[in-house]
Amino acid sequence: MASHEGPGLIPAVGRAARRGARSAKHRLIPVLGGRTRTRVIVVLACVLALSSADTATVGAAATKLKTALNITTFDVGLLVSVTAVVGGVFSLPFGALADKLRRTWLLGASVVLWGIAMVWSATAGSFGELLVSRLALGGVTAVAGPVVASLVGDWFASGERGQIYSYILTGELLGAGLGFALTGELAALSWRLAFVILAVPAFVLAWAVFQLPEPLRGGRGALAPEPGTRPWLAARGTDAEARGQAPFAGAVTAPVEEAPPESQTDAQRIALERGIKPDRALLARADPRMGFFAALRYVLAVRTNVVLIVSGALGYYFLAGVETFGVEFVSGKQGQYHVAPVLANGLLLVVGAGAVTGVLVAGPLGDALLRRGHLAGRVRVAALAATLTVVMMIPPLVTHSALTALPYLMIAGFGLAAQNPPIDAARLDIMPSWLWGRAEGIRAFVRTMAQALAPVIFGAISDYVFGGQTHGHQGLRWTFVIMLVPLALSALYLFVAVRRYPRDVATAAAAPPAPAAVLAGRVPPGPAATAVRRPPPEPPPAGRRPRGDGTSPGPRAPDGSPRAPRPGTRWIGGSGPKRRGARP
């Protein structure tokens, strides 16, 4: 009987999975605004989910890796760090490519290499080979950050980007949960199986990325929600659930060829309406054709951007330490809560549920504040969430009861994750659209450097400062206490950003638009003068009737129609007929 039950179980599971996928698809389409928007959001969310799942898998398989490869906690942290370091370095050139090349093809090719690097990691025979495979993996994963940010800016209207980031970053959190839960359970059987299981969906995801349409640059082709969907109703103020919200602006409802050359974001329009003066010194340096190093200097000269980068890096620094050592900290006989590793993974999943809630709440909240005229509303939401995180992290580090710590950890996870959607949307408002890829590449470099340092510093302080190798969880416990300091600094920096944000938004609004060739990615860097708009043409002399392009026509017949040239002549410019071969 068992021989008949086994083969019948697999088709049953497949049918259940297909039914679940169809049900989820039908539920998501009305919420996300139509089939095309749903496909775009889900694919981008899956890209970030794959990245975070791989990072979380190293932490979930830490115990097995130590035993199988005879390595220490410091070595486990090094595995995570090398991926982040290489990813940070490669995010700089990939950010420049995101502003120049077809982004969907660039992202799809990187996901293919991503899957190959995961298979290599699963087949590594030593710690050295595993370390080299993680180096390769970090190089290809660097594409995701700059490309996703640039695509979100061009695919979606400015007034809803916070909510769109909420959906996409939910995928990142779900991927981390998948790494802790599913691959953590598989790692109990074999750490190789935990790595190879992530390579299979990578190739399917690459195919889905290649199928995505490439959006027009400069916000000229935002995907309008389909009629009858929730975003479509909310944009017109008729959705009962969106009552009281002003319609968001920027969605293109006309055909793409009728779209404006470039569109301003809602925050930029508010800044212009209030007469906020831009930073003239910074504005003088804005050039759509600037090279990489000029772009680097410009991005780092935007003060709000620097503050947001530093604050976000400190938050991700703490999160990277939690992802790497969280299970080890709470589980085992020497753990903080003395729970089994399986229950520890479940505990972190509950905390992850709070993080998902924070992401889904903060993005729409920041958008709503902006639509009601609060120019720095998105940054304020992030600052309050960061403060909440610091306060809620203190009780779990004191108590030894998992049940007592659970609500505090959920709220801390809520606040930690709630910072990201409004900040990601706010960054697009302080940068000209032709710098989105490079600006995100620079931010990703700083963030990943912080993520790279976190596991190494956490592990080193735990082992060599607080005696983690001999005192068990006490070393990690005091390490987490010390690391609350940079987390508190991230909250402080966000409150600083609130004051500077309006002026930097006004500066981005006054920046020169990119010429059509630059938007298409076909023009190399050149002098700043080429980015200036041309003055209108001078009026034609008296007695000449202007053409549609503003230049003077050739001679005309008495009835006003163009006079045909005599044989052997041709038109040159608008100066009349000239003999063939004559100089113009």
d(Cα 231, Cα 253) in Å, to the nearest integer? 13
- Which residue carries 């939690």 as its tokens? 322
Model pLDDT, residue 297: 92
Model pLDDT, residue 305: 92
Q: At what angle do helices 73-98 and 127-141 cross, to 10 degrees?
A: 30
The 3-state secondary structure of 360-408, one letter per residue: HHHHHHHHHHHHCCCCCHHHHHHHHHHHHHHHHHHHHHHCCCHHHHHHH
Are the C-beta atoms of 347 and 330 separated by less than 8 Å?
Answer: yes
CA proximity to 378, closest of 421, 439, 416:
421
Are the C-beta atoms of 477 and 95 separated by less than 8 Å?
Answer: no
Tokens of 124: 């590594």
Q: Which amino acid would we find at residue 199?
A: A
Model pLDDT, residue 25: 64
Around Cβ 260, how many Cβ atoms within 10 Å? 13
Element of type H or E holding 570: strand 569-571
d(Cα 60, Cα 452) in Å, to the nearest integer? 17
Model pLDDT, residue 247: 45
Q: How many CA atoms lie within 13 A of 500 on its CB side?
A: 17
Model pLDDT, residue 528: 37
Chain-centroid distance, C-alpha 377 = 20
First and final C-alpha spacing in the chain:
94
Model pLDDT, residue 207: 93
Model pLDDT, residue 263: 60
Model pLDDT, residue 184: 66
By the 10 Å C-beta count (0-12 exposed, 13-18 middle, 19+ buried), 486 is classed as middle
d(Cα 82, Cα 300) in Å, to the nearest integer? 25
Q: At what angle do helices 484-510 and 473-482 cross, to 10 degrees?
A: 40
Q: Which amino acid would we find at residue 134?
A: R
Are the C-beta atoms of 469 and 463 separated by less than 8 Å?
Answer: yes
By the 10 Å C-beta count (0-12 exposed, 13-18 middle, 19+ buried), 294 is classed as middle
Per-position DSSP letters for 198-234, written without gaps between them = HHHHHHHHHHHHHTSPPPPTTTTT-BPPPTTSHHHHH
φ/ψ (deg, to 5) at 543: 90, -5
Tens digit of pLDDT per residue, the chain (584 long)? 444 444 454 455 455 555 655 666 677 888 888 888 989 999 999 998 888 887 777 777 777 777 778 777 777 777 877 777 888 889 999 998 998 888 999 999 999 998 898 888 888 878 888 888 888 888 888 888 899 999 998 889 888 899 999 999 998 888 877 776 677 677 777 788 878 888 888 899 999 999 998 888 877 778 888 887 878 777 666 344 444 444 444 444 433 333 344 567 788 888 888 899 998 988 888 888 888 899 999 999 999 999 999 888 888 888 777 777 776 777 666 666 777 766 766 677 788 788 899 999 999 999 999 988 899 999 999 999 999 999 998 888 888 887 888 889 899 989 988 999 999 999 999 998 889 999 999 998 998 888 778 877 887 887 777 765 555 567 777 888 888 888 888 899 899 899 899 999 999 988 888 765 455 544 444 433 333 333 444 444 554 444 444 444 445 455 445 554 444 444 333 334 444 444 43
Q: Which CATH superfamily is domain 33-221+289-517 in?
A: MFS general substrate transporter like domains (1.20.1250.20)
Model pLDDT, residue 65: 79
Model pLDDT, residue 515: 65
